[in-house]
Structure 1
């Protein structure tokens, strides 16, 4: 079989429609020594009628020992060695169906390549551009939703988005301080892989990705009365400590509460375990911009009255923010343009 590179997507299991020959006496069942003949090729195969048996016409899956290139609309004949005869003619409806085949392909339009691509995507819900083209004979679905290498049927994407939002909101209500539901957990609940989930989230304007978690776009997390009291007490202490705050864990602020406060923009982590209030960081910028000469870490430390534990993370943060720039052992202030 000749074709351009990438034009074929071999598969070893097909959804087919079988039509028995006129002189067959017994219906086709899963029991038989079958072989499928397609083009110039012939392969032994297993046949599983979706309704248990086929007397005249019906749907079945055919499983081959090797993957064979085929596409929607390909015709073949089915031979039964036990009967020593051709028992049916067949039409490929889906070259690579789901474990539970979508039987809508039996009545879907497949006259043109684009018809076949649209029908396949509606049955599968999600597919890659290359695979859909290969299985439809070069067709495309112009109504599909594109997300990276993936194509979604609109009905599938909207249905999965609704389910993802419901699952995510439920998780957020139970775990208000966490950044969102873990991707692996949400993908499992939706019965899709993580790559497909990430593409779905990229398309959706109601879901967003944060690290290894998914959250709804309007999620900010809420603090209980006790957590709010803990935070306000810790905030006053952090404000009083200025440029040399103590360990956040010593203030009774738990890890999940810290993560929630960082997401809300009420804390910023400069290094592991070193947290500052946004107001303190702004005061740091104002203070540093008053420096007129290059300075070392030691000079910076002494000017602010802090230890090296605080000085180094602050300087590295200032470098990242474009406030200072390192030159050898010194740092210089980058003057902001008016």
Structure 2
């Protein structure tokens, strides 16, 4: 059974607060100013029980234009709206603006309450109902139930409660498996307890003693106590109005608009990409650099609008925009936003954030626009593929994917598992890469290697470190190594020692060069663990060029000493066998094992240290455990 939050909406003095008191017995106008004015300034909260036994929360949101910011704060997390319309006055400008905002926030379930019905003849009420359906044609209100109510006499209240109960049955439960998230709408201090915040828990669950983070400031807090409907509980669930007693933070450290969630659950940024709809009522287009007020959750931030793929978004039209924010926000893909004009302060439109942590990019970049178009659909597979293809790094974690697409964690895991089965996504070392992106990398590796081979035909291969430095979009360390390992495993690249080469590349020698290579290899084989120096082997540059081509059969220990790979591998095997048996190996022991001089034993040991196979400790070396 879903937790239900009901919100009221409508023009000032149309009877929202009186209706809530009639339903719940709780007065939501509580401040002296609110009572004197006879209107709601801040959000009011109450609750009541339905005939089914379900307890529902209800939020009284302000109706006056001056308090529209509070109305927006209250609309977050609402499942159902009671649209209150005075039977004497009918639909008013703030009524329409409230409905526009609620539709932009994606709220679909409404009951229209025709209030103060005892003051109007039934014939006039019939006409009023027809007018309401006509004015809201094409919206969910056109087909919503309309209940005639008089809160003072009690007329229509039982019918209204039954309508609420029926509608509550079909409301989809909120996501309880996601990480918890609560937009803070009230902050105060309670003597003896300290900082208390309230809000609607939008997703997940919160437990006492749980460690959470306040975004965007990044303040760690602990949940000391939880209240739901004025009762202490150990657990709060998505869809519940919640009061949380926090430790580790002062009242002055927080502000309305902050978000309480787990660390790493949100992306922080000054730039977001979104898809929005400009309301027909706005009467003018949204243009480049228009200054707008952005409402997200319970926060209000100033921003500049940058239309994408078009010069402007006309009234009644839809399109992509980038918002250059004046303050940092914390968000997830799919979060709803409302836009109001800077002046006059009227609602101009709203929509959804598609990329919550983007960068400045071209307004007419086809790749960006295609990606945003995909993000605006429900095709999660296509969105994952697009993200994997265009992310800054080719290998990304599951969390990075989840942070950049609109999907539940369990759904994402199922999607990735299915995509791995079909081969459209691969998992390397716990990270993910799309098959198309891997093919792009494959071509890039081969292009660089083939270019190197063409320019250096006598070199046996390209140094792996040089290859790493020339590959685009591959960070140093693990991602590069994982991709290289995959390409080697599948035969796209051949690697030996410190070199890499294209699979079909072989050095082609002239007869003179082939004869010289054979002579050099024979000399190195005969030299065993005391080979001739490079100066002795090569009197000229032609000879050095042939030496460079022999990396497949020799190892260069330093500037003047090379050893045949067969002897190098034998020396390594002797060292490993001795070190495993004795725990370490001394220089003298290694020299004696090889039957060589101190000079060559030192050169080999220093080389093993350099490549990380051994580590020097005082007068001995120990094995590091690194694989050859």
Could you tell me the TM-score, scaled by structure 1's length? Answer: 0.71
1:201 match = 484
Q: Do the aligned partners of residues 228 and 145 (structure 1) sit closer, same or farther apart at CA in structure 2, a change above 3 Å counting?
A: same
Compute the displacement of 1:38 (Å).
0.6
Q: Which has the higher contact order (CA 8 A, sep 6+)?
A: 1
Q: Which has the larger radius of gyration?
A: 2
Q: Deviations over 1:242-282 (max 9, x none)?
A: 554321243227666545423x1x22345663333356679
Tell whether 2:441 aligns with 1:160.
Answer: yes
Structure 1 segments unaligned to the other structure (5+ residues): 286-295, 319-328, 330-338
Quick one: distance in 2 between partners of 1:153 and 1:46? Answer: 35
Q: Deviations over 1:283-312 (max 9, x none)?
A: 999xxxxxxxxxx959x77x96x6542455
Is the partner of 1:273 in helix, strand or coil? coil
CA RMSD of aligned residues (A): 4.1
Tell whether 2:312 aligns with 1:53.
Answer: yes
Matches within 5 A, 1:216-235: 216=502, 218=503, 221-225=506-510, 227-235=513-521
1:129 match = 398
The answer (yes or no) to whether the contact 2:307–2:321 under 8 Å persists in 1 is yes
Determine which of 346, 349, 371 is the counterpart of 1:104.
371
The answer (yes or no) to whether the contact 1:221–1:260 under 8 Å persists in 2 is no
Q: Do the aligned partners of residues 259 and 220 (structure 1) sit closer, same or farther apart at CA in structure 2, a change above 3 Å counting?
A: farther
Q: Deviations over 1:103-132 (max 9, x none)?
A: 3332456549x6696366356354432122
Tell whether 2:285 aligns with 1:27.
Answer: yes
Q: Deviations over 1:1-22 (max 9, x none)?
A: 2222322222332221121011
Quick one: distance in 1 between partners of 2:350 and 2:292? Answer: 13
The answer (yes or no) to whether the contact 1:105–1:120 under 8 Å persists in 2 is no
Quick one: distance in 1 between partners of 2:301 and 2:448? Answer: 45
Matches within 5 A, 1:1-338: 1-50=259-308, 51-55=310-314, 56-97=317-358, 99=361, 100=365, 101-108=368-375, 110-111=377-378, 118=384, 121=387, 124-125=390-391, 126=394, 127-135=396-404, 136-139=406-409, 140=412, 141-142=415-416, 143=419, 144-148=425-429, 150-176=431-457, 177=459, 178-180=461-463, 182-187=467-472, 191-194=473-476, 196-204=479-487, 205=490, 206-207=492-493, 215-216=501-502, 218=503, 221-225=506-510, 227-239=513-525, 241=527, 243-252=529-538, 257-258=546-547, 260-262=549-551, 264=552, 266-269=553-556, 273-278=560-565, 297=588, 307-310=597-600, 313=603
Compute the displacement of 1:219 (Å).
5.9
The answer (yes or no) to whether the contact 1:267–1:277 under 8 Å persists in 2 is yes
Compute the displacement of 1:31 (Å).
2.5
Is the partner of 2:454 in helix, strand or coil? helix
1:288 match = none
Q: Deviations over 1:179-222 (max 9, x none)?
A: 255212122xxx45445544433443324677887644x26651
The answer (yes or no) to whether the contact 2:449–2:462 under 8 Å persists in 1 is no
Q: Count matched residues.
A: 302
Quick one: distance in 1 between partners of 2:385 and 2:495? Answer: 31
Is the partner of 2:446 in helix, strand or coil? helix
The answer (yes or no) to whether the contact 1:9–1:70 under 8 Å persists in 2 is yes
Quick one: distance in 1 between partners of 2:286 and 2:453? Answer: 52
Structure 2 segments unaligned to the other structure (5+ residues): 1-258, 420-424, 573-586, 609-618, 620-628
Quick one: distance in 2 between partners of 1:95 and 1:239? Answer: 62
